[in-house]
Structure 1
Amino acid sequence: MKRLLSRALLLGALAVPVAQAQDLPTPAFLPSTAQANAWIEADPTVTRARRAAEAANHGGAATAASANEWTARLQAQRRNYQDSGARSNEWTAQLERAIRVNGKAGMDRQLRDLQVEIGRARVGEARHEAARALSDAWTATIAARRQQVLLREQLVIAQNNLDVVRKRQRAGDASMLDTNIAQAEIGEISREVSMAGTEVTKAEAALRVRFAAVVPDGVVLPTPQEPIWPEPRWREHVLQEADPVRSAEREWRWAGVSAARARADRVPDPTVGIYTANEALRNERVLGLSLSIPLPGAYRSERALQAAKEAEALQAARDQVRREIELEAAQTYADATGSLERWRIASETARLTGESARLMQRAYSLGEADLQSLLLARRQASDTARAALQAQGEAVRWEMRLLIDAHLIWDLAED
């Protein structure tokens, strides 16, 4: 009843408008939102993206301010008068600057705003990928630890079984061959326990080295759940939240404004200035204005055509990114539903083989079954239990991938 109630509350939470969907609580087995965000923010890929975004902000501000700056000119000369022999020390001072015309200043401000948005979208991309990696490593660590526990339990059973075989050998009910087989079984399971320990070490190292994170003891994988939304709604929401799509969209818009800027630049920016001069033995003071206009040529036209084609290329790139994200969303949904079905099958299989192994253990204790049959049943039970755990880990991993891709947990929707 409690599970049904919580399920109903979750359905209610996801039934609200998309804009409020980020209020979905983080699954209990994952790190909290505050802790996950701290680890994600410390990830080098996110740090690099943030620094790049800050650089883009400065670059955008520079674009809006324009590269046109005031230029000061100072010229000095000496003039000799042949008729009088007088000498005149003269000078000219000028201040000039190129002025953006043809709407270029407004376009530069648009380019600045788009550069800021592109940087923000790329930070979102980095956070999203880091969140995926954190969730995958967290889930893998829990599953690896559980696999190790399962094998250790099997090792204890195998050791107890060896004790039983030895007692039966002393009583004349078992042969030395049975004892050797039981010892070989312990050796095989011990090898698997060692391998499982290595997998735990590797999983914990991956989590610790990248995120400086550690899974607390006692954390277990949850029961996998069906996706709350149907596949079309998941796909639509993922497309709305996908940072690569946002980035590609902004880059295409940036290219469009850049193309318009290049077309406008076919009308060159004039340079205007003011100057003053002192001439003729300081008897003449000059004050004037200057204007210079470059004469446009083929260079500016070709640059405008180049920018237009680059905008078209980025439009195609945007469409390609949208299709790739849509395909990935559909595939992720299929992996989530498929892994859930495989976990259910594996769990039922593990239950049946586990029950068979318990019955076979009892039969062997009563002398109604041979050792080979017991070991076979136990091996089947161990393999199916581990397969069920692996299927559970995969189902949970894909379930969390759905939530992360839709930006429903860890405040990813705020990027």
Structure 2
Amino acid sequence: MNHILPTTIRLALISIASYSAIAAASNVLPPATPADIAAILPPEQVVRKTLENLPQLRSGTLNKELAQASKQRLEAGSHEWLMRVSQARRTEQSGDSLRDQEIAIERPVRWFGKASKDAAIGEKTVDMAQLSYADSWHEAGRSLLNDWFDTLRAVAYRQRLQEQADITGQLRGMAEKRVKAGDAARLELMLADTEAKRVEAQLQQAQLREEQQKQALATLYSGLQIVELQQLPAPLKTEQSHSYWVDQIMDDNHELELAEAEAALSKLQASRIAAERMPDPTVGIRAARERSGQERIYGISISIPLSGTARKADASAAALKSKMAEEKYQFTRLKVTREAQRVVSESQKQYTIWQTMHAVQQQSQAQATTALAAYKLGEVSLSDTLQIRRNAIDATLAAEAAQIDALFAHARLELDAHKLWVID
């Protein structure tokens, strides 16, 4: 049996020997390009078709058609023509029987600019429906991006554990040969076998999680196929300033524009309801034949309702709703600003976190490679080798998770800045 050096000396030898391995393993990933990032995302045409077929987007299309119908209704007005026809029979004291007949046509008339106010409300309703559709598109894109990267994480996690299971299997094979050759105690084979089973159990859990994520993705987004890459691209560094990206997100934000449109619509509606304090007159023309046509009457009629406290109360309520909508807009602006700042900061910080985790991964992987070579030569015990390998896989999983988080953060930044999957 080969002599096993004391632990401190063995670890020192590993550290010294690992320098050459680190130099070989620390191959920094080449700088990423937008094409590299696009390679891990689903094709844009597939994304567009998928989003258009989502129930919430189909409902948004119907809502736009409903808004057009509402606009036509408002332009036409709620008043309708009314025709009245009457016929009466009169009997005079002389016994003569005479007939009286009358026909009248009348219609309420919108005045004091009410028709133009209704038209403006109709236009704003259509604008709101379009903004609501755009906001639904953006939210659906966010959900798709989240689900896509969750699946990508599951796939990458399974791939790394598969690699670890293969290496652990190799270690078990080495331990078995050494035990048979009498160079190691049987305990080493038991340790290697336990570690192989532990990693296999983790791999099975990872496979289940990957399968569940893929099933969920296929159920929610028919036609999308996850990309399985052996090596993920390096994340893109956010070059522009923090304020630049915040301005990009704020300049064209559908949620903010929708809240602004709601406030504007509420203001128009309040103005329209306030105009109802001056009721619409009903104008009509009439023609009558009395005494069996002996007398003919032609005329016009105008009737005006007398405004009461109910109209005043409606106007006050509408004004309050308009103020509430304005406050909601201000709240939405604060929320969107805070969210934009968070997304930009996360994109910038995740890139730095990935760089740090990547460096740790390279060093841990180099140490694991050196430890494996040392174990083959009998310079390191199996327990030390297994511990170093656990540290290496933990560092690898953490680095890859940070890499995916950085890729996701940048994609989310471009999505919110309307540089990715922009609605037509």
Contact 2:41 2:227 (8 Å CA) reproduced:
no
- Tell me what 1:373 maps to: 384
SS in 1 for 2:279: coil
SS in 2 for 1:27: helix
Contact 1:248 1:321 (8 Å CA) reproduced:
yes
- Across the aligned residues of Structure 1 and Structure 2, the Cα RMSD in angstroms comes to 1.9
In structure 1, what residue type is equivalent to 2:265? W
- Tell me what 1:161 maps to: 171
- Tell me what 1:18 maps to: none
Distance in 2, matches of 1:345 and 1:76, equals 96
- Worse-superposed segment, 278-287 or 95-104: 278-287
Distance in 2, matches of 1:207 and 1:82, equals 92
Distance in 1, matches of 2:129 and 2:189, equals 68
- Worse-superposed segment, 345-354 or 49-58: 49-58
User: Residues 45-75 of structure 1: CA distance to partner in whole angstroms, max 9, x if unpaired?
Assistant: 2122222222122112212221111112222
Contact 1:77 1:90 (8 Å CA) reproduced:
yes
In structure 2, what residue type is equivalent to 1:119? A
1:307 Cα deviation from its structure 2 partner: 1.4
- Tell me what 1:142 maps to: 152
In structure 1, what residue type is equivalent to 2:173? D
In structure 1, what residue type is equivalent to 2:309? A
Distance in 1, matches of 2:87 and 2:36, equals 75
| Pairs within 5 Å for 1:50-61 | 50-61=61-72
| Pairs within 5 Å for 1:73-92 | 73-83=84-94, 85-92=95-102
- Worse-superposed segment, 92-101 or 273-282: 273-282
1:268 partnered with 2:279: yes
Distance in 1, matches of 2:314 and 2:211, equals 56
| Pairs within 5 Å for 1:336-347 | 336-347=347-358
In structure 2, what residue type is equivalent to 1:46? L
Among candidates 204, 211, 216, match of residue 194 of structure 1: 204
Percentage of matched positions with identical amino acids: 27
Distance in 2, matches of 1:30 and 1:98, equals 59
Among candidates 47, 50, 56, match of residue 45 of structure 1: 56
In structure 1, what residue type is equivalent to 2:271? A
Distance in 2, matches of 1:72 and 1:173, equals 112
Distance in 1, matches of 2:323 and 2:283, equals 36
1:175 partnered with 2:182: no
Distance in 1, matches of 2:36 and 2:353, equals 26
Matched pairs, number: 394
Among candidates 343, 354, 361, match of residue 332 of structure 1: 343
Distance in 2, matches of 1:233 and 1:41, equals 31
Contact 2:57 2:136 (8 Å CA) reproduced:
yes
SS in 1 for 2:80: coil
- Worse-superposed segment, 180-189 or 199-208: 199-208
| Larger RCO (alpha carbons 8 Å, 6+ apart) | 2
1:94 Cα deviation from its structure 2 partner: 1.8
1:349 Cα deviation from its structure 2 partner: 0.8
- Structure 1 unaligned segments of length 5 or more: list them: 11-23
1:369 Cα deviation from its structure 2 partner: 0.5
In structure 2, what residue type is equivalent to 1:96? E
- Tell me what 1:13 maps to: none
Contact 2:121 2:269 (8 Å CA) reproduced:
yes
- Structure 2 unaligned segments of length 5 or more: list them: 1-29
SS in 2 for 1:102: coil
When normalised by structure 1's length, the TM-score is: 0.90
- Worse-superposed segment, 24-33 or 243-252: 24-33
In structure 1, what residue type is equivalent to 2:314? R
| Pairs within 5 Å for 1:231-310 | 231-310=242-321
Specify the structure having the higher radius of gyration (Cα).
2
Contact 2:37 2:407 (8 Å CA) reproduced:
no
In structure 1, what residue type is equivalent to 2:328? A
